[in-house]
Amino acid sequence: MYDYDAIVVGAGVAGLGQAALLQQSGKKTLLVDRWPRAGGRLQPYPQKDGYIIENGLHIVEMGKKGYCHEMAARAGAEIEWGSWTTGGEFYMDGRWVPDAELLKQSEGVMQRFVETLTRIAAMQDADFAAWDNRSVSQWLDHEGISGQLRVLWENATMIMTTIPDADEQSAGECLYIAREAMVKCNRVLAAAVPRRGMLGITEPLTRAFTEAGGTLKLGTVADQVVFEGRKVVGVRLRTDDGSPLAGEWRFRRGTLVTAPLVVLALPVWSLKSVLDMDPRRSPLPPWWIKRIRDIEGERTGLFGFMVATRRPLYEKPNFLSALSTPRTGYPFQGYSPTAYTEDVAPKGRYVLITDSVCEPEEVEDKFNLMAKMEAHWEDIKEMFGFEDGEVEFAWPYYTTGCDGLARKPGLTGNFKPDVEAPGVSGLFFCGDTYRGRGIGIESACYSSLLCFERIMG
């Protein structure tokens, strides 16, 4: 007799959706997460003064037309959306240039752009698979795209991948993202922000799960997935019981909670914390273990600020980017949440979120990060025209793995790990480092739906 029908480890957006879907389908489900609040990399922090602080730059690809909305709806959760992106602006030569202006700067660029989009909109899934192992630079060369049009595409694909160099971006993934946006929204990039920011996603999903009878245990560490032979039997869980040995000497003491089905909604680089990855002991195939080890370091990095002011620094629901900023030399991303939904800040206050895109090792070097943070701050002061004294607060943040597995050639589409573990029974995965497509949240939700469908047969 099992304690539960299913255990989901990780209460990020993929895990929340997966747990709610399983519970709604009739499976008695336990959802556990080590953090004291649900949301994972989307954890929002409502403040007493009315601000809703995010732990990074989050915007949801495809909005109500994407997999995040579909997953939530199927799980019994309703997401209320704010504004859609209306376009993009690029920081070039000391000013913000609208995408439409960039297209009109050279004769014939707009026509060529439209022709390229028409071809992308007609592409099939097999076409993307053929480009998954090739770079955006190779695709641009194949299409004969140069000049301002190439700059436009390189900005767009940097946003899609959070990877600075077009030689390192998967063409298959970027073409898929562009096709979905074109077919569903008639634009290259389409995104929206929920009402109340990411709280507008995590709260409805959490409520849908618990109101359906699901059990949520936060502040709970999953220590180990337990097998009998090649069959999952549960997860060993641990909470802080106040023991000085547990804190000082890292003595681990856990309790086995049983279930015939375990879904790990964790990134591939966290699997070694719950799965024995030594081929001499693990029930998982050696080839699979090697693959996970080979790719677990493939992440992206970024750092930036969430800035609050008493006047709007930017008022349009646009996504902002640059291939290089004056001082950091890194690609730039940004947007104003209050331009999409006013309820993430008190009345009369405004929020701007910015970041610089870099390699993971550049944020893992503390002293490099400190220097680059200072340079980024001076960059955004110049780009948005504000002084230090106008700022109510500026929360710094940095991360690696912000968008899951790096969307590089050979790491997208069917090159990503499958949602079902090979060679064992009852172990599944979901999230933005597994099979699925799209940017960040969209990829995670796509993966969660694939995982659920595989489980249910």
Q: Would you call 348 exposed, middle or buried from its count of C-beta atoms within 10 A (0-12, 13-18, 19+)?
A: exposed
Q: For 166-206, what is the HEC assignment?
A: HHHCEHHHHHHHHHHHHHHHCCCCCEEEECCCCHHHHHHHH
The reply to whether 395 and 410 lie within a common domain is: no
Owner of token pair 């180990």: 224
The reply to whether 316 and 346 lie within a common domain is: yes
Q: Answer whether residue 89 is part of any domain.
A: no
The reply to whether 269 and 411 lie within a common domain is: yes
244 CB neighbour count, 10 Å cutoff: 8
46-59 confidence digits (pLDDT tens)? 888 899 888 888 89
The reply to whether 274 and 152 lie within a common domain is: no
348-363 confidence digits (pLDDT tens)? 999 999 999 998 999 9
Which of the listed residues 400, 417, 443 is the one where a domain comes to its end? Answer: 400
The reply to whether 287 and 414 lie within a common domain is: yes
How far is the C-alpha of 356 from the C-alpha of 388, rounded, in Å? 19
Which of the listed residues 142, 166, 189 is the one where a domain comes to its end? Answer: 189
Helix (H) or strand (E) holding 393, with range, is strand 391-400
The reply to whether 205 and 290 lie within a common domain is: yes
Q: What is the CATH number of the domain that holds 338?
A: 3.90.660.50
Q: What is the CATH number of the domain that holds 425?
A: 3.50.50.60
The reply to whether 354 and 314 lie within a common domain is: yes
79-102 confidence digits (pLDDT tens)? 999 999 888 899 988 999 998 887
The reply to whether 390 and 319 lie within a common domain is: yes
Q: How many domains does the chain have?
A: 3
Range of the structural domain that residue 308 is part of: 301-400
The reply to whether 280 and 217 lie within a common domain is: yes
Q: Answer whether residue 95 is part of any domain.
A: no
Q: Answer whether residue 93 is part of any domain.
A: no
The reply to whether 375 and 312 lie within a common domain is: yes
Query: What would the two tokens of residue 137 be?
Result: 């630079």
Q: Answer whether residue 91 is part of any domain.
A: no
Q: Answer whether residue 445 is part of any domain.
A: yes
Helix (H) or strand (E) holding 303, with range, is strand 301-309
157-216 confidence digits (pLDDT tens)? 999 999 989 999 999 999 999 999 999 998 888 899 999 999 999 999 999 999 999 999
The reply to whether 349 and 204 lie within a common domain is: no
The reply to whether 292 and 309 lie within a common domain is: no
Which of the listed residues 189, 217, 232 is the one where a domain comes to its end? Answer: 189
How far is the C-alpha of 298 from the C-alpha of 345, rounded, in Å? 35
How far is the C-alpha of 52 from the C-alpha of 54, rounded, in Å? 7
Question: Half-sphere exposure of residue 408, counting CA atoms within 13 Å on the CB side?
Answer: 14
Q: Answer whether residue 253 is part of any domain.
A: yes
Q: Answer whether residue 1 is part of any domain.
A: no
Q: How confident is the prediction for the chain on average, in pLDDT?
A: 93
How far is the C-alpha of 444 from the C-alpha of 313, rounded, in Å? 31
Residue 147, pLDDT score: 86
Angle at the Cα of 292 from the Cα atoms of 289 and 297, rounded to 5 degrees:
140
Q: Answer whether residue 152 is part of any domain.
A: yes
356-401 confidence digits (pLDDT tens)? 999 899 999 999 999 999 999 999 999 999 999 999 999 999 998 8
